[in-house]
């Protein structure tokens, strides 16, 4: 068994809510006390990403997907936990130490309109990281690399002097991907990279990402809310709810035998030809905001199977006989 490319354990991230000083005072048991609320965006996330695989992360808006991506990329520090790249710990690096990993790990963002600098031509956008990470290359060699890279993502090299606004959304996302690929990374974190694109263009960008993965043995952490994309693209799937992973499984196992009540509800919303369950399971209630660290199961307020134990203790991830892992008391107790 090869070492996972990325290993994450006990990852937590709390943001302090920037309430005004006046709003921080609360009446508690007859006394006025100052209290600053924290939003617990990640609450003990454990994950591995293997070399050459696509780990898809799914879950409703606000469950912590983007925070997970940003913490892994070192764009924001975790509150607790550890992140390893192969056998090297990377969550506490300073800028200089992180340089090597900046090259190995790249990110593609949701919105290609915002993530490309509007004042830089495509040539400038691509030549900057290539020159930075390869100071030995001549200008001619850089030009050559840009030409090959652009053609490989289906953008004509003759348009390299154009600015982002001169391209369509799909073209811009392919340029973003070219920029990520320009430094020859092993690992790409893609945070909803298709959701700003027309449906017809989404498949092109997705196919391009899959081709590049095969060519370069890339690993992806791919965040999406589109379950059709997950089924098509993912090697394994992590289902998140309120800052926790509640189910982790290979794609076929997850779609064929979803076990966590939340996963079952998510999947039952997609119409399937071979489905035996006629009615989608409706999720009742809103996703709560994770202001207080939850006691018990994070899904308790919306779960039809919740019992007393679910309100008192938080379910741990338990390995199942089909190699999936599920955090649910009802699954553990065999009542689901």
Tokens for 293?
A: 């660290």
Spatial strand order in the sheet of 6-16: 38-49, 6-16, 80-85, 88-89
β partners of residue 39: 15
Residue 20 as a binder of ligand ADP (CB under 6 A): the answer is no
Taking the least distance from each CB to Mg ion, the nearer of 65 and 244 is: 65
Taking the least distance from each CB to Mg ion, the nearer of 65 and 260 is: 65
Distance (Å, whole) CA 247 – CA 259? 8
Residue 52 as a binder of ligand ADP (CB under 6 A): the answer is no
Q: Give me the least distance between CB of 262 and ligand ADP, in Å please.
A: 14
Residue of the chain from 256, 289, 312, 333 that contacts ligand ADP (CB under 6 A)? 289
Taking the least distance from each CB to ligand SF4, the nearer of 185 and 315 is: 315
Which residues make up the interface to ligand SF4 (CB under 6 A)?
261, 297, 299-300, 303, 305-306, 310, 315, 328-330
Q: Which does 196 bind (CB under 5 to 8 A by kind): ligand ADP, ligand SF4, Mg ion, none?
A: none
CA 92, 98, 102, 108 dihedral sign is: positive
Residue of the chain from 7, 43, 54, 66 that contacts ligand ADP (CB under 6 A)? 66
Segment contacting ligand ADP by CB under 6 A, of 59-67, 100-108, 175-183, 316-324: 59-67
Residue 317 as a binder of ligand ADP (CB under 6 A): the answer is no
Tokens for 20?
A: 């005004």
Segment contacting ligand ADP by CB under 6 A, of 45-53, 65-73, 247-255, 323-331: 65-73
Alpha helices in the chain (DSSP H): 65-72, 95-104, 112-115, 122-133, 139-152, 169-181, 199-216, 227-233, 251-256, 261-268, 308-312, 329-333
For 13, 238, 244, 331, the CA distances from 317, given in Å and listed in that order, are 19, 12, 10, 11
Residue 66 as a binder of Mg ion (CB under 5 A): the answer is yes
Q: Using CB under 6 A, list all residues that contact ligand ADP.
A: 15, 39, 41, 59, 61-67, 289-290
């Amino acid at each position: 068994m090869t070492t996972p490319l990325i290993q994450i354990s006990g990852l937590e991230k709390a943001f302090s809510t920037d309430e005004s000083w006046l709003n921080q005072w609360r009446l508690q048991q007859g006394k006025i006390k100052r209290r600053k609320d924290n939003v617990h965006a990640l609450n003990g996330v454990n994950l591995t990403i293997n070399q050459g695989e696509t780990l898809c992360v799914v879950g409703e808006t606000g469950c912590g997907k983007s925070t997970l991506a940003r913490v892994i990329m070192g764009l924001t520090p975790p509150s607790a936990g550890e992140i390893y790249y192969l056998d090297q710990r990377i969550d506490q690096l300073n800028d200089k130490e992180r340089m090597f990993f900046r090259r190995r790990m790249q990110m593609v963002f949701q919105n290609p309109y915002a993530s490309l600098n509007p004042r830089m031509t495509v040539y400038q956008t691509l030549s900057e990281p290539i020159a930075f990470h390869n100071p030995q290359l001549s200008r001619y060699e850089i030009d050559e690399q840009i030409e090959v890279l652009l053609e490989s993502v289906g953008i004509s090299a003759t348009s390299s002097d154009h600015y982002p606004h001169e391209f369509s959304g799909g073209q811009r996302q392919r340029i973003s991907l070219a920029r990520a690929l320009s430094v020859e990374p092993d690992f790409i974190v893609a945070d909803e990279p298709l959701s700003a694109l027309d449906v017809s263009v989404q498949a092109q960008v997705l196919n391009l990402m899959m081709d590049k993965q095969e060519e370069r043995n890339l690993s992806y952490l791919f965040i999406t809310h589109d379950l059709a994309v997950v089924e098509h693209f993912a090697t394994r799937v992590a289902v998140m709810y309120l800052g926790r992973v509640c189910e982790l499984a290979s794609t076929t196992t997850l779609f064929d035998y979803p076990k966590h009540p939340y996963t079952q509800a998510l999947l039952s919303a997609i119409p399937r030809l071979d489905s035996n369950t006629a009615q989608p399971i409706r999720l009742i209630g809103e996703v709560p905001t994770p202001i207080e660290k939850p006691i018990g199961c994070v899904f308790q307020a919306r779960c039809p199977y919740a019992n007393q134990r679910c309100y008192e203790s938080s379910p741990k991830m338990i390995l199942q006989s089909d190699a999936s892992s599920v955090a649910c008391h009802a699954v553990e107790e065999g009542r689901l």
